[in-house]
Every structure is written in C-alpha cells, then in structure tokens.
Amino acid sequence: MKAHTEYLVFETKKRKEMVHITDQVEQIVRRSGIKDGLCFVSPMHITAAIYVNDLESGLIEDIGKWLEELAPERPEYRHHQTGEDNADAHLKALLLHHETTLPITNGKLDLGTWQRVFYAEFDGQRRKRVIVKVLGVA
C-alpha cells in the first residue's frame, strides 16, 4: 500500500474559467506507481471546485450560465461586508462540491468514455493550488 501526493498550480487569465485537467491527473497517477486504488483531487481554496463531465465547449458554457443562475453575483451578500466581493464564488464552489475522488484500475484512471476532469475556477487571476493524492496498491 502506498500514498503519493502532488500539487498542481493554476493561475487563470479570467476570473471564472473551467480548466481541463484530466491529462495532468493521469500523469500523476502514472508517476505514483499505484495500480489499483483511489485518486483524490481538490482545490486548496474555497472559491474553486473539481468536477467530472463532458469536454464540449457548448456544455461548458451551459454549466457556467447555470451556475450564475443558481448562485448569482450580487452585491448584497453579507460576506461582502468584510470587504470581499466573491460570495458567489463560494456558493458556486459548494454547488459543484470542492473535491472529487476518481478510481484507478491497472495503473490508470478508470473513467468512462466521456468522463473528463475539470478545475472550476470562480475567483482566479492569482496562483491557486490543487492537491492530488493517490492511495492504493502498488
């Protein structure tokens, strides 16, 4: 049994951006030497999330609009009395859940044909870290 940890860094150009990270996660799984187990992926921030879905630009736009409908930017959040202006980013991150776990079989991510992993940034334009921890049988 073995655990392997790496950290990814993202600094998006836009404040809100979906970044496709399946390949980076897959490379970490390969480097871990773990053949069978679980791969945990999570931002170390509270205004970003990880999600698994389709690599299709129309759907990615739909997801962004839908998150804005359900967790809109609004001046009147109480959190903004602290000087922040990003309460919506916290709510969007909660909606998508801040972490995901992925299965590893035969040394690879054991995902379905269309399952792709995304880093969902809701308050970017600065350096943010994502932890990837692989746990399993070497």
The contact set with a copy of itself (CB under 8 A) reads: 1-3, 5, 36-38, 40, 42-46, 51-54, 56-59, 61-63, 66, 70-71, 77-82, 87, 90-91, 93-103, 105, 110-115, 129, 131, 133, 135-137
In the bound state with a copy of itself, the residue whose beta carbon lies nearer, of 15 and 98, is 98
Query: What are residue 85's phi and psi, to 5 degrees?
Result: -135, 20
- Find the farthest-apart pair of alpha carbons in the chain and give their distance in angstroms, rounded: 51
Query: Least distance from C-beta 134 to a copy of itself, angstroms?
Result: 10
The candidate with the shortest Cα–Cα distance to 52, out of 134, 115, 122, 114, is 115
DSSP state of 8: E
Query: Least distance from C-beta 128 to a copy of itself, angstroms?
Result: 9
Alpha-carbon distance of 120 to 89, in angstroms, equals 10
| C-beta separation of 50 from 41 below 8 A | yes
Query: Least distance from C-beta 93 to a copy of itself, angstroms?
Result: 7
In the bound state with a copy of itself, the residue whose beta carbon lies nearer, of 33 and 38, is 38
- HSE-up of residue 91 (Cα within 13 Å, Cβ side): 16
In the bound state with a copy of itself, the residue whose beta carbon lies nearer, of 19 and 135, is 135
Query: Least distance from C-beta 27 to a copy of itself, angstroms?
Result: 19
